[in-house]
Amino acid sequence: MMSSKEIIVYISLGGDTSASLKTALSVITDFRISKIKANEIIKDVTVAVAQWKNVAQKFGLTKLEIDRMSSGFLQRDK
């Protein structure tokens, strides 16, 4: 059973539907993305998403709202 904090994605025809870098990297050739470009994208997104709390505060979200969203921004794999 899926946890309420678990995100699933269907970017692969295989059995792994976890929202992970491993899953994303396993299908880069399907999207004609090189390993170098994929790593650049990962770096760019990681840098941008790292600022999510600052952006949320800038737009007036409360601490409670930010805390509720925190689990969606956990990075489980590198």
Is there a domain that residue 55 lies in? yes
Write out pLDDT tens, residues 17-27: 677 888 889 88
Q: In the chain, where does DSSP find H-type helix?
A: 21-26, 35-49, 52-58, 63-69
- pLDDT tens for the chain, 78 residues: list them: 445 555 655 665 666 667 788 888 988 998 999 999 999 999 999 999 999 999 999 999 999 999 999 888 876 554
Is there a domain that residue 43 lies in? yes
Counted domains in the chain: 1
Is there a domain that residue 25 lies in? no
Per-residue confidence (pLDDT) for residue 1, from 0 to 100: 47
Is there a domain that residue 27 lies in? no
Range of the domain at 48: 34-72
- Separation between Cα atoms, residue 39 and residue 35, nearest integer Å: 6
**Residue 8, H or E segment:** none
> Average model confidence (pLDDT) for the chain?
83
Is there a domain that residue 39 lies in? yes
Is there a domain that residue 61 lies in? yes
Is there a domain that residue 47 lies in? yes
Is there a domain that residue 68 lies in? yes
